[in-house]
Amino acid sequence: MGGDLSYRANQTSGVIFTLAVPLEFGEMNAGAAPAEIAQEAGPLHILVVGDHAVNRQIFSILLEPFDVTITFVGRRDAAIEAAKQDAFDLILMDRQLPDMNGVDVTAHLRAWEREHHAPRTSILFVSANGSPSAIREATEAGADGYVTKPILLDTLIQEITPAVLVSKQGVSN
C-alpha cells in the first residue's frame, strides 16, 4: 500500500507503533450497478447473518438506497430457522458466528434445500478472512460468492447482482 510502519520504545508504557498509509479519497460510484439491481431484480428480501451490531449497521447504511427488506439474525439457529421459514432472495453470511461458523450453517442450509426440494437461495459470504482456503471452504459448502471486508459498495453490488438474478430465476439445487 506504499506505507510505512515504525515503532519506538516508550519509557513509561512499552512501545509506540506508527502506521502511515497514503490514502486517496474517491467518489462513490453508485450509478450503474444499483440501477441494474433495481431494474432486473426488483425488490429484494435479504437475510443478513452476523452477530456484530456494527456490521448490521453497515449493511443497513449500504443497502438503504435500494428497494430491499433486510432481516438480521446473529446466531446459527436463528439463521437456519429464518432461511427455512421465509423466502429470501439472498443470504449475506458472516464466516464467524458465536455458536457455529458460516461454512457449517451454509452446508446445513444446502442439505436442507436438497432434502426438501426447496429453491436454492443465493448465499454470499462477507468476511475479513479472504484467504484462498477460506473462500474454497465456503464455496465447497455451497456459497455463491465471497466478499472480503472492508465492504465496498461497488464490490458488494457486483457480487449481489448475479447471485440475486440466479435466485429469482428459480435455479434449483
How does strand 44-49 pair with strand 14-20? unpaired
Exposure of 82 in the CB half-sphere (CA atoms within 13 A):
23
- Tell me which amino acid residue 107 is: A
* End-to-end Cα distance, the chain: 41
CATH superfamily for domain 44-168: Response regulator (3.40.50.2300)
Torsion of CA 31, 165, 44, 145, to 10 degrees: -80
**Shortest CA distance to 137 belongs to which of 89, 90, 102?**
102
Tell me what the pLDDT averaged over the chain comes to: 81
**Regarding predicted confidence, which is higher, 134 or 22?**
134
Above pLDDT 70, what percent of the chain? Answer: 81
- Tell me which amino acid residue 70 is: I
Q: What is the pLDDT of residues 80-125, one digit of tens each?
A: 999 999 889 999 999 887 777 899 999 999 999 999 999 999 999 9
